[in-house]
């Protein structure tokens, strides 16, 4: 009888559920919006690209200078003109080079440097040199406006390697060579004859102008046996009547992995011996870079990748969290929360996303219970679905520009 009275008073809808707007007429439009179907998310949305963490600060007239220490290598100076880099305890990323244990790194701020400082010019030349040796095919020679610069703290290698590079530069000039592609690559036979077949080499290419690179092992003076000679001639089958001269170059393939932020998976089977290859010096090129400089060229991209992630997260903190308790979230955790799986980093936000969805629904549920005390559970559930829908969250993301800091590339 009581429920029939509620129906007669028009306090129930057709599903015999209470109509809150009778007692809360000011919520009528909100109830209508809530009763609509939850909006479906579009498959794609056009947004701008990820922010550039290395872009110079507006009006910046100085460089930040740091000391970069890579375990097992001489320390480097590092310079940048973007946001100042802060690392907790100065500890940088841990690198995982194949065949070696974890390599620790540290970065310590030292001073500010004016744009005209002579060290900046030297650092521009040095930065181009080490990156050109491995990545020259993806670079252009003339621009020196790098976003980050490196320079050794001492010039110990210059006594050996500067004369070698000067010799190559003079030789190229005498022959009329003006291609920068060969700036640091010298004919291996000529290097051997000129410098008494040095053993401190790092990279050997099986040709010129960015041909495939190998790790130098040694010079070989022993003649090939019949089986070795057959295999050697098969490798150089494009040359008929090949004359084999000694010494030969013994080399090994370079590691395939280039992202040293990811630990090397443990090997389950027996360790396979790294196969060596023989190259003919007159058909090969030596990269005129020391072992230390070559190692920098290999590992610095991974260090820069890690630092760029730190700068990205720090930029988000300054842009959105300055007056929020969220500003105190540890950089490491916030980096994970901003890293998409497509980035192929060691950690990404998938596990946090599961936890975040649960927490978000709980918090929204508590808020709705407090905000709408007269609503029944059906209305509350529908309202919650609207609040936490993917399309709603995506619109909030775009409105606040959060996509600019999502680490996905």
Cβ atoms 170, 209 nearer than 8 A = no
- Cα angle at 135 between 286 and 266, to 5 degrees? 90
Check residue 32 and give its pLDDT: 63
Take residue 343 and report the two structure tokens written for it: 């980035």
- Sorted by sequence, the CB contacts under 8 Å of residue 323 that are 6+ apart come out as none
Distance, CA of 216 to CA of 322 (rounded, Å): 52
Question: Per residue of the chain (409 residues), what is the pLDDT tens digit?
Answer: 988 888 888 777 777 776 665 555 656 666 666 666 666 666 566 767 788 999 998 888 899 999 999 999 999 999 999 999 988 888 999 999 887 779 999 999 999 999 888 899 999 999 999 999 888 888 999 899 999 999 999 877 788 999 999 999 998 888 877 677 778 999 999 999 999 999 999 999 998 878 899 999 999 999 999 999 999 999 999 888 899 999 999 999 988 888 899 887 777 767 677 789 999 999 999 999 999 999 999 999 999 999 999 999 999 999 999 888 989 998 889 999 999 998 888 899 999 999 999 999 999 999 999 988 877 788 888 888 888 888 888 888 888 888 899 998 7
CB atoms within 10 A of CB 151: 19
Phi, psi dihedral angles at 214 (to 5 degrees)? -135, 160
Q: Where are the alpha helices (DSSP H) in 253-408?
A: 291-320, 331-338, 350-371, 377-387, 390-400
Instruction: For the full predicted model, state whether its pTM sits above 0.95.
Output: no
Give the separation between CA 204 and CA 220, rounded to whole angstroms.
Answer: 14
């Amino acid at each position: 009888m009581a429920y029939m009275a509620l129906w007669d008073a028009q306090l129930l809808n057709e599903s015999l559920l209470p109509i809150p707007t009778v007692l809360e007429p000011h919520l009528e439009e909100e109830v209508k919006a809530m009763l609509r179907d939850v909006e479906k998310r579009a498959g794609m949305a056009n947004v701008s690209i990820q922010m550039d963490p290395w872009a110079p600060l507006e009006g910046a007239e100085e460089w930040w200078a740091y000391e970069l220490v890579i375990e097992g290598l001489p320390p480097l100076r590092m310079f940048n003109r973007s946001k100042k880099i802060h690392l907790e305890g100065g500890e940088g990323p841990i690198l995982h080079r194949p065949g070696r244990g974890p390599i620790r790194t540290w970065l310590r701020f030292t001073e500010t440097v004016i744009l005209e400082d002579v060290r900046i010019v030297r650092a521009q030349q040095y930065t181009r040199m080490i990156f050109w040796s491995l990545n020259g095919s993806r670079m252009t020679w003339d621009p020196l406006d790098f976003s980050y610069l490196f320079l050794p703290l001492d010039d110990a290698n210059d006594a050996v390697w500067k004369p070698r590079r000067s010799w190559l530069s003079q030789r190229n000039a005498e022959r009329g060579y003006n291609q920068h592609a060969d700036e640091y690559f010298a004919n291996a036979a000529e290097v051997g004859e000129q410098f008494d077949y040095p053993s401190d080499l790092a990279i050997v290419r099986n040709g010129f102008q960015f041909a495939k690179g190998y790790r130098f092992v040694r010079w070989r003076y022993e003649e090939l046996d019949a089986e070795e000679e057959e295999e050697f001639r098969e490798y150089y089958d494009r040359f008929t009547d090949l004359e084999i001269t000694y010494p030969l170059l013994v080399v090994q393939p370079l590691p395939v992995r280039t992202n040293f932020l990811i630990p090397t998976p443990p090997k389950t089977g027996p360790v396979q011996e790294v196969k060596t290859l023989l190259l003919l010096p007159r058909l090969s090129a030596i990269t005129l870079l020391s072992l230390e400089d070559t190692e920098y060229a290999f590992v610095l991209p991974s260090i820069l990748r890690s630092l760029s992630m730190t700068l990205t997260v720090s930029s988000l903190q300054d842009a959105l969290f300055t007056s929020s308790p969220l500003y105190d979230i540890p950089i490491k955790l916030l980096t994970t929360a901003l890293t998409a799986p497509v980035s192929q980093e060691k950690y990404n936000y998938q596990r946090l996303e599961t936890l975040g969805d649960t927490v978000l629904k709980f918090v929204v549920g508590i808020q709705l219970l407090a905000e709408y005390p007269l609503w029944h559970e059906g209305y509350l559930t529908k309202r919650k679905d609207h609040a936490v829908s993917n399309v709603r969250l995506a619109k909030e993301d775009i409105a606040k520009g959060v996509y600019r800091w999502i680490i996905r590339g």
